[in-house]
Chains A and B, each alone.
Chain A
Amino acid sequence: GENVEQHPSTLSVQEGDSAVIKCTYSDSASNYFPWYKQELGKRPQLIIDIRSNVGEKKDQRIAVTLNKTAKHFSLHITETQPEDSAVYFCAAKGYQLTFGKGTKLSVIP
């Protein structure tokens, strides 16, 4: 089955700096890569996704890049704000959706 590795597990950045979270996947048939944000005590919510026919996607301060050859994809958050503090999960979908173990992002004011 699919295996998704996510790094780092924790990340602290100063407000206004950029944050990058990286994921690798094992199943070359995976073709959908969403990112979810989970605030403390709340449910995961989709923040951005990318499909395998696209190399990069951007939505305001958030961008995701995909390298299908290397089987890795990354989340980039620019100009971080305290409200970006949360746990972020990457996922890859081949037959089923498989999640990474999560990255706890702390943005220090």
Chain B
Amino acid sequence: EAQVTQNPRYLITVTGKKLTVTCSQNMNHEYMSWYRQDPGLGLRQIYYSMNVEVTDKGDVPEGYKVSRKEKRNFPLILESPSPNQTSLYFCASTPYIAGANNEQFFGPGTRLTVL
């Protein structure tokens, strides 16, 4: 089944404790991105990657890191989480075809609470 998976789905942690949220897709998509969703603010892009070893900042990158060592995986790293990073996080992927626009496929979401 074609899908985007994220782990963990729920995480409660404390300020300053490094964490990684994994994201994996099995559709051979080139483009992957991370969003955070907060009430009243919609979906805001954190980072995106257009292919292996190619990453760039989105609208709200502060406090986050990403890597893209393999095409299928795009982990989100919080080196020193703070309470303002408490949010619902979505990973998404889409095939990249020059000059075309395609549906983004979202993962199931990770609800993160930083105490």
Contact = CB atoms under 8 A, between A and B. Distances in A.
A92 to B, nearest CB: 11
Contact of B103 (A46, A96, A100, A102): A46
A51 B106 contact: no
A43 B106 CA distance: 6
B95 interface: no
A101 B42 contact: yes
Nearest to B38: A101
B101 interface: yes
Nearest to B45: A96
Contacts, number: 42
The secondary-structure label for the interface of chain B is loop
Chain B contact patch, size range: 10 to 19
B107 A100 contact: no
A93 B33 CA distance: 14
Contacts of A96: 45, 48, 58
B41 interface: yes
Interface string B72-107: 000000000000000000100000000001011011
B91 to A, nearest CB: 10
Nearest to A43: B106
B101 A51 contact: yes
A46 B92 CA distance: 12
Interface of A: 1, 6, 9, 31-32, 34, 42-46, 49, 51, 89, 93, 96-102
8 contacts: A9-B40, A34-B101, A49-B103, A93-B101, A96-B48, A99-B35, A99-B43, A102-B42
